[in-house]
Every structure is written in structure tokens, then in C-alpha cells.
Chains A and B, each alone.
Chain A
Amino acid sequence: MLRKEINDLLTQTDAGTPMGEMYRQYWIPALLAEELPENDCPPVRVKLLGERLIAFRDTDGKYGLIDEFCPHRGASLWFGRNEEHGLRCPYHGWKFDVTGQCIEVPSEPTESGFCEKIKLAGYPLVKIGDVLWTYMGAAEQQPPLPEWEFATVPAEQSFTSKRLQECNWLQAMEGGIDSSHVSWLHSGDLQRDPLFKGAAGNKYNQQDKMPVFEVTESDGGLYIGARRNAEDGKYYWRITPWVMPSFTMVPPRGDHPMHGHFWIPIDDHNCWAWSYDYHPVRALTGEERQAMQDGKGVHVKYVPGTYRPAANKDNDYLMDREAQRRGETFSGITGIGMQDASIQESMGPIVDRTKENLVSTDNGIIMARNRLRKAAMELKDKGVRPPGVDPVHQKVRSAAVILPPDKAYKDACKEDLMARPGVRQSSV
């Protein structure tokens, strides 16, 4: 159960709200680099944290993310012509550079310098890995660029996708730290999905369906450890890091690539679920990359030409009751990504947390809310920079390890839980 005021506080991210201001402290994924594939390519509409924006790439390859609407009379710059170092509004020809500065107002004498008085809001947009990242906060507080491992390994080792999720970011993110749903909602996929099956550790999951959880804080957020019995009185631990505000990483399986998510608010009723997959020390194989492109693992198939999943609420997520009856899928929905999305969207655009009945295994979620609330309030009241902004907090990894029964995993696995360039993931 969560009081309504706190539910509002955590779920609302428009400018001026405490969580909105907190999200504006971070570099967040804005677009896939493939959305702006070449210089002077068509501009792309982007909505983030309740702000309607337009992204474009100019003649020099510089990226910009600016207010969508022309300050002259409010036309959408999505119709703009991307030409010669700027985006020109097709209505009356006003032109803007990647920072949002107006650089031409054709109706006014050039000498008047009128255009210098016109500036659209603009945010930096930087390509790191497959992602274009933006920072939507005050320019003077811009933090160092993000250093997440998935975005900084060589390109051939990494694959990133995004999908539209039609619900609030928090309930989507909570799915990523709610390890106890995996044995239910995703049961079946462990054996079949090409990006999961065959790992030695899978047998522990199958033998022990009632893991015991341990939640512990990290500098950037949390670790959620799920413990199962292994041989000789040892424990098999699957450890999920969560870094504020919304990065999670699924514990690895065997030598499969490691994967996880970011949840980024579009507005209070929609978010982008970003999914990355990477291997710390080797290139993805052709089959792996193909499986990811085909929507396997944490990725999904799209409605052609969009980032909306092909299975979506307009077609009841392609519900297959026969597969559900046969036990092939637990909810009748195919694919891990869509199993999560469909369930989370079904909770409503913003789930009413005053009605929920949390139990002890929900402590990961309770702690994450606790940390988000405290960080948002500390930022608001005292200007304290929230956890997760510092690139040191971003150098995390999940791990799947076997430990003696008396070890605290956070200390025993200190190294395993750190991104270490050139070092293989700790995984069984």
C-alpha cells in the first residue's frame, strides 16, 4: 500500500514535479541512433517527461533535441526541412540550429539581428553506443556523460531496442525489480527462448521455485538477490542491480549475453521500455543478433515502421488461450517483453497503489520507492544530487553465482557486480 500523495509524487514526471525534476538530473536514453541515420535526415518527434520535442541531425552530423513547435505561430517542426545546418519551419521559413537558436527569420532584414532574440528550448543529444542520450536539466548542472557498460562496449558486442509501453513508468520499472514474478509469468521461456536456454544455472531455477530474497542498498540504488539451494549446502544467487532512477539488469544465464532495461517516462501514461543485450567480452553471434532482431529474449516484434509492439492492447496482445492451457505460456502471451508489457498495461495507466496488498517478497519494490521518494525530496529541499547520476554508480553488472551459505553477496561479489572492461560476466 502506498498513500495517494506518494503515488502521485513518484509517478508524475512533468517539469516542476519532484520526480520530474529528479529525472532531469540524469542523462536518459532519448532515441535509438538508427532513428537519425544520416546527416540532414528527416526530423523525429520525441516526447519525454511530458515535453513535446523534435530531434534532428544537421549537415555536420550534430544532434539536437529542441521544442517541437515553431515560436513564430506554433507550427510543428516535424514538417520542417532539415537543410544546411538547421531545421527550417515550412510555414514561413524560420530556421533553427541544433541548440534551438533561431538563425534565420526571412521576413526581417538580416541586419536587424531579430533572429537572435528567438530561441527554442533545446537539450543536448549525444550518441553513445546505439543510443542518443539527452539531459533535460539546467545546463550549469550537466553531469558527466553516461558510462553504462552496454553502451560503451564495442558495437559488435551490443544490441539495443526500445518499445512503447502504454502505462506509467513506475509500474513498468517495478516489474524489473520484482524478481518473484519470473517463476510465474515467464515460466516456460527459460527452456525455450534461444537467449536463455541451456545455462547450467537454469536447473536451480527449476528445482527450487520458491527463492528466498535479500534486498540490500548500493550507492546507486539496490541489489535484489534471489537465493536458491545449490549443491553441498551452497546457495545459487541471482543478483539484480537497480540503479536510480530506472536502470535494471537481469542476472545472466551461462554465456548468453546480459540484458536489462531502462524505463523512461514519455508522459504520465506512457513510457519507453528500453532493452539492451550485450556481452562484455565477445561479439554477439549472428544467431544471437538475429534472435534479438526477431523480438526474442527481452526484445519484441514491432508494428512495421514503428516502435509499438506488434502484440498490443488493440489486438489483445495476440492472446493464445491454447498455449496458456498447454502451459507453454503462463499468461497466454508470447515473449518475455510482451508478457511484462501486457500485464503492466492491464494495471491501468497509473496503477492505484492505495489498493495493493504488498507482501514480504515485495520488499525490493518497497525499498526502491523509498529511495526514489527520499532522493526526490532531498533534491527538492536541499539540492542534493540523486544517486545514479555519478558514472561510478553506472558501472554495475548483474551476477549469477554460487556462494557458501554464510556470505553476504554484496561483499562476496563486489567484483562480480562491477562492470570490468575485458572481464567476462560472473555467470553459471
Chain B
Amino acid sequence: MSSPSDCARAATAEEARYRVDYPNSKPRTSKIVAMDDRAAAITRDLETASWNGARFLSLIGRTKGVQGLDSIPLDLDLRDRSGAVARLSKELPGADVVVMIASAGESPADAGIVGRSCAARGIMTTGIIVEAGASAEEVELTLETLRPNARMLVVASDADYVAEMLTALRA
């Protein structure tokens, strides 16, 4: 046994040195949407760090969809870090992931618009609920709102998880 290619040899520390060294992924397009004021404060602190193109947005409110029926809001106005107003529908094309940040106790009704818009375009959604000392009822309230609208949900005790997760995801 022990040809250059069998597991005995391949799994050694020595062989780990020969892993082909190159960037094995292209930059991703990540949109981080703060769903309430406290969440916006968290992302504001992060905006200044260096990211791989992550775009930080905060919710302003509903707006009429471009091709929507007049009375049904289908789109959202968002504010980017420069203060400019952006439309959700303009932000989504090409996005790999949309991360919704919400504070426990809030029930951001507009999560439904984010969730449905992403689902319609096949975009991955992740929700982070920042607990920060909130009660179980408050967490449940926010969970209830985000759950139908995010394919992955995290309840984090501390706001620092947001940065940690975005780094892990190469956002």
C-alpha cells in the first residue's frame, strides 16, 4: 500500500502542502438589509470595515412596484451607506445572498417583500435576529415575521455575530 495517491499518503500534513494555491471563488454579491433602526445602527458600524463588495442598506419604507398594481406595494426604498435611496428591485439582480438583520422585538412587516422578491428571483436569504437581552416573547415575535422569509435563520445573542458571519461568507 501507500502509492502517492492513496488515502494514507494523501491525508498527511506533508501532502496538505501541495494543495493548489489560487483563489477558488469569485467575489460574491451580498446585500445586507437592516430591517429596523437598531439593526441600522449595527450595520452603520460595519460599513467602514473593508468588505468584498458587501452592500449595506437600511429600510426606508414601502413604495409602489414598478409594474405592480397601484395599490399593492411590491417594492421597498432602501438607503445605502452614502445616503442615496436605492430600490430593492434594482438591488436584487445578480445578488448571491440577502442578509436581513433585525432586532428582537421588532416585527418588520417588510420582510415579506424582501423574502418574496428573493424567492421569485432564486436568491438565498438569511436572517439574523439580534437578541441583545430581549425576552423570549420578543424573539418569538421577530422569528415569526422572518421565518417565512429567510431560508436560514440565526438568533444571535450579540451584535458582533453579524460581522463574524459576513466575514465567514466572504461578503
Footprint of B on A, CB under 8 Å? Answer: 1-3, 166-167, 212-217, 269, 313-317, 342, 345-346, 348-350, 352, 355, 357-363, 366-367, 369-370, 405-408, 410-411
Contact = CB atoms under 8 A, between A and B. Distances in A.
Interface in B1-30: 1-2, 6-8, 10-13, 15-16, 19, 24-25
Given A346-B7, A410-B155, 19 more contacts: A1-B170, A167-B11, A212-B152, A217-B155, A313-B11, A315-B1, A316-B8, A317-B7, A348-B11, A348-B13, A349-B16, A358-B168, A358-B170, A360-B126, A367-B165, A405-B147, A406-B140, A406-B144, A408-B136
Contact of B140 (A315, A342, A408): A408
Q: Report, nearest first, the 6 A-B pairs whose CB atoms are least far apart.
A: A348-B16, A313-B7, A360-B152, A216-B155, A360-B126, A214-B153
Contacts, number: 113
A215 B154 CA distance: 5
Interface in B124-171: 124-126, 131, 136, 139-140, 143-144, 147, 151-157, 160-161, 164-165, 167-170
Nearest to A363: B154
Interface of B: 1-2, 6-8, 10-13, 15-16, 19, 24-25, 97, 124-126, 131, 136, 139-140, 143-144, 147, 151-157, 160-161, 164-165, 167-170
A352 B21 CA distance: 11
B24 A359 contact: no
A214 B7 contact: no
Nearest to A347: B11
A367 B154 contact: yes
A359 B166 CA distance: 10
Contact of B8 (A213, A313, A352, A370): A313
Nearest to B170: A1
Contact of B126 (A269, A352, A363): A363
B124 A367 contact: no
A345 B15 CA distance: 12
A357 B124 contact: no
Nearest to A211: B151
A357 B168 CA distance: 8
A395 B97 CA distance: 37
Contacts of B2: 314
Contacts of B147: 214, 405-406
A213 B152 contact: yes
24 contacts: A1-B170, A167-B11, A214-B147, A214-B152, A214-B154, A215-B152, A215-B154, A215-B155, A217-B131, A217-B157, A269-B13, A313-B8, A314-B8, A349-B16, A357-B25, A359-B97, A360-B125, A360-B151, A363-B165, A366-B169, A367-B156, A367-B165, A406-B140, A408-B139
A1 B24 CA distance: 12
A225 to B, nearest CB: 9
B76 to A, nearest CB: 21
B15 A366 contact: no
Contacts of A358: 168-170
Contacts of A350: 13, 16
A153 B92 CA distance: 53
B144 A360 contact: no
A370 B152 contact: no
Contacts of B97: 359-360
Contacts of A316: 6-8
A370 B151 contact: no
Contacts of B153: 212-215
A2 B166 CA distance: 11
A316 B11 CA distance: 11
Contacts of A352: 16, 19
A367 B168 CA distance: 10
B10 to A, nearest CB: 7
A350 to B, nearest CB: 8
A114 to B, nearest CB: 43
A360 B124 contact: yes
B169 A411 contact: no
A348 B15 contact: yes
A313 B2 CA distance: 10
A1 B164 CA distance: 10
